[in-house]
Amino acid sequence: SAADKGGWSSFMAKEVSEEPEAVANTLRGRIRDGEVVIPELDGLDDLFTGISRIIVIACGTAAYAGQVGKYAIEQWTRIPVDVELAHEFRYRDPVIGPDTLVVSISQSGETMDTLMAVKYAREHGAKTLSICNTQGATIPRESDAIVYTHAGPEVAVASTKAFVAQVTALYLMGLHVGRVRGVVPADEAAAHVAELEAIPGKIAQILEREQPRIEQFAHWMADTRSVLFLGRHVGYPIALEGALKLKELAYIHAEGFAAGELKHGPIALIEPGQPVFVIVPSPRQSAEMHKKVISSIEEIRARGARVIAIAEEGDAAVLPKADEVLRIPLAGPFFEPLLAVVPLHIFAMGLATAKGLDVDQPRNLAKSVTVE
C-alpha cells in the first residue's frame, strides 16, 4: 500500500532515498574514539589472527559489494582477498582450510547458493563470517561470526540500500581486522573512519542535487536498447552494478567493463549514439588512472559514443570530454564507490519508470532465491 511506501511511488524509490541512513545505521555503535570496534566480534580475534586469506562469496548485487570491498580490505590488512560467486565456489574443489576466512554477503540471509557455499566452507575447515541484513536468517546462523548491516527491510527486488550498507560493513570489518592484526596505524584508521562517517551526508547531497537531472536523462533515454558502463579499480564493480540494475529493472542490454579492457574487445561495440556511462576516478588520488580513463573517454567519443561521466566535483578535465557530467562529492581513496553507485541506482529506476515498468517487481526475478 501507499502507506508502507511512506508516500513514495515505489519501494525502490523509498529505499534509494534511505541509502544515507543505511550507511549511518550500519556504522552506529561500531565506532569509538575514531576506532572501529564491532561488539559482535568481541572475543573472536582468533578468526582474524590465524588467517592468510579471505574469500568473499555472494550472488548478484552482494557479490559486487564484495568486489568493491576487496580493494580496501587488501590494502588495509595486506591479506589477499578473492571474491567468488557462491554458486561457482563449491563446485571446483576450492583450496580452503583453517587459514581461510570465508566472508559471505547476503541481504536476505536465505540465498540458497550462498548458504550452500557457507556450509561447504565450514565442512572444509574454513572460518566463516556472515554479512547479512536480516536478523536471525539462516546464513548468519550457519556462520562463526556475524556483522549485520542495518539497512532496514528491503522490499524492492533490486537491491540498493543494502548494497551501500554491505560495502560499509566490509570496510568496518577490514578496519577491525587491521586493528586486531596491528597492521593499520591508529591515525590512518581514524582517517578512514572519518571518511565513512561523512558518506551519509554526501549521498544525501547527490540525491538532492542530481536526482532530478538523472531522472530527466533516463526519461530521454527511454528508447535506448543498450547501455555500456566503464569503470576502473573500485569503479569497475560499480560499472558492473550499474549494468545489472539496468538489466533487472529496464530489461535492456547493459554491460559493465573494466575501462582498461576496452581496447581488448569492447570498443568494437561502440557505434554512433551508443550511451556509455564512465565512472571517472579521482585525479587527486591517482593522476595516472584519471588520465587513462579520460583517454578511454576520448577513444569512445571519437567513435560516436554518447558519454555520461560520473566524476568528482572540481574535476574540470572531464567537462570538455563528456556529453554529460554527473557530480559526486569528494571522498578519500576507496570511498568513491559508495557515492558513484547512487546515480546509477537512480538512472536504472528512472529508465524503468519511463518505460512504464514496475520497479519493485521486475519480471522473472525474486527478492530472495531460495533454490539452487
Residues that bind ligand G6P (CB under 6 A): 59-62, 106-108, 111, 114, 157-159, 365, 367-369
Torsion sign, CA atoms 260, 266, 267, 270: negative
Q: Report the nearest approach of ligand G6P to the CB of residue 38 (Å).
A: 20
Q: What are phi and psi of 296, to 5 degrees?
A: -60, -40
Interatomic CA distance for residues 191 and 211, integer angstroms: 29
Q: Report the nearest approach of ligand G6P to the CB of residue 359 (Å).
A: 12
Give the residue with the Cβ less far from ligand G6P, 118 or 276. 118
Written as nine digits, the cell of 178 is 587491521
Q: Report the nearest approach of ligand G6P to the CB of residue 261 (Å).
A: 24
Q: Report the nearest approach of ligand G6P to the CB of residue 246 (Å).
A: 13
CB 196 within 8 A of CB 323: no
Residue 181, sorted as left (phi over 0), alpha (psi -120 to 50) or beta, turns out to be alpha
Nearest residue relative to ligand G6P (C-beta)? 60
Give the residue with the Cβ less far from ligand G6P, 184 or 254. 254
Q: Report the nearest approach of ligand G6P to the CB of residue 297 (Å).
A: 29
Q: Report the nearest approach of ligand G6P to the CB of residue 185 (Å).
A: 33
What is the CB-side half-sphere exposure of residue 98 using CA atoms within 13 A? 3
Give the residue with the Cβ less far from ligand G6P, 85 or 269. 85
Give the residue with the Cβ less far from ligand G6P, 118 or 340. 118
Beta-carbon contacts of residue 344 (< 8 Å; ≥ 6 apart): 229, 238, 241, 242, 245, 277, 310
Q: 367 an active-site residue?
A: yes
CB 281 within 8 A of CB 244: no
Interatomic CA distance for residues 333 and 233, integer angstroms: 11
238: Cα separation from own chain's centroid: 6
Give the residue with the Cβ less far from ligand G6P, 319 or 365. 365
Burial class (CB in 10 A: 0-12, 13-18, 19+), 366: exposed
Q: Report the nearest approach of ligand G6P to the CB of residue 90 (Å).
A: 16
Q: Count the Cβ atoms, other than its own, within 10 Å of residue 230.
A: 29
For 55, 61, 104, 115, 306, the CA distances from 119, given in Å and listed in that order, are: 14, 21, 11, 6, 46
Give the residue with the Cβ less far from ligand G6P, 164 or 193. 164
Q: What are phi and psi of 56, to 5 degrees?
A: -95, 130
Give the residue with the Cβ less far from ligand G6P, 16 or 158. 158
Interatomic CA distance for residues 80 and 53, integer angstroms: 5
For 125, 219, 318, the CA distances from 305, given in Å and listed in that order, are: 50, 19, 15
Q: Report the nearest approach of ligand G6P to the CB of residue 367 (Å).
A: 6
Give the residue with the Cβ less far from ligand G6P, 105 or 180. 105
CB 325 within 8 A of CB 319: yes
Residues designated catalytic: 367
